[in-house]
Structure 1
């Protein structure tokens, strides 16, 4: 029986009752979201170690992955798997145990829980049940990549992983581009798997243009790399040099451009897909700086077409 299977088999015993002393249990929230290192195991603050040692159960995305971190810091607390495939089924028992006084911590394989990781449904259930929720901040790959990229740090838009297939991914980039044409100006953050990186960058270059970007790889680890360039330059590089490891892509905001007739039509069509003619014209006029009457007249024409 694997370690994870053994943990699953003991879930009833795990969630049945608290094991820490009454004074300590009373001082802990029902659920603590604890951020964990994204690479270097020393990036782990004392309060995070103390909390994981004191709770009754540590909920892990993968108990085998988390075991490495826990052993490195001498933490012997019982662990239990909580991932996208079992989260919904586990929530009722977990909430019941919290009402009974049990205290839990939630960690992901690396970084901040819920950020492109499981746990959101549990957090909502804890809030809805009126239980106390808290968190211990720590490493996050996307924010570290943003600060290392040399691109404008705010505002930024984090989209996590886009769809793995090119058609759906291009549709997502098209939606983002439409938002930019309607006025969005932000640095974009994405996670991507190494074997899809070159195609991801090529699709981004085709839909977003040759704007400044950065690929941040293996952050905080021995082979950390931050490669900066335009999207098409980065796509060409990684088409020839297959990357490894954990990857975050940072794409700069849209370059300032004068609103042409083609740009105006593209922005209006995007806005009209979800707005009335009046609201679409107002939004696009504000974004482009063009006269509102001119934009409204073009919106009416496009609406008739």
Structure 2
């Protein structure tokens, strides 16, 4: 039976990936310090033999314990500091978690004979204000925040370990992922925050005119991309996205939310949309879940009795 290590496996995307790996018959070890992840996300998986190793990816001893438990052939590295505001306020901590943590794992992967290393990277933040939309992987890397810079640096180390040591590595540049288990109070995830507001009957704050666009991708589609990435010998970086733009204001309208406008935030990317062509060609992957369907699933998971309210008028 093949085995895998999932860092950040108690988190939003990681726990969905763990479930998929278990359903595929894998032995799974999770490395998570539970600072943002929740063990409740793994409740079902733990009953099916998943091993939870508490610890941080920056701790070589915790990483070694996780790797010696089941001798995984694949590492899916999803543990990260993802709060952009925190990254701006404390870029050193952001770099320690996202860059040093990745390097710690890569070094351990090389020593323990890991076959495949897949990194959860970021798309829109790495490309910044791109010249071409949808943006292909060949576009210039323009980190728009310390968070994006740390992810870009982590990607470069994956390339280096592939070149120097022959470790098979791939960075998945994810667009804006949403779905059940995402934190509705966090900085990352406008869909989760808006769904939480819809559940509570609260208005939402939209910064600027709400015309900012994002490429929203449902979590089940992301998990399928990770599963494919673990199996195919694709290297470098691959966009995982829908290739379609949706405005922030459109999300609020779809949920029938009352909107309050606030001044535009400095440094925010105006338009973000990724070209998923390479994912289709190299991984045989394409997004399947329509945004309206994913939105319904997310809302239902947060409040089973909730139904969409009529579309609200939006204040100018």
Fold conserved between structures, TM > 0.5: no
Length-normalised TM-score, structure 2:
0.32
More helix by share: 1
* Structure number with larger C-alpha Rg: 1
Length-normalised TM-score, structure 1:
0.33
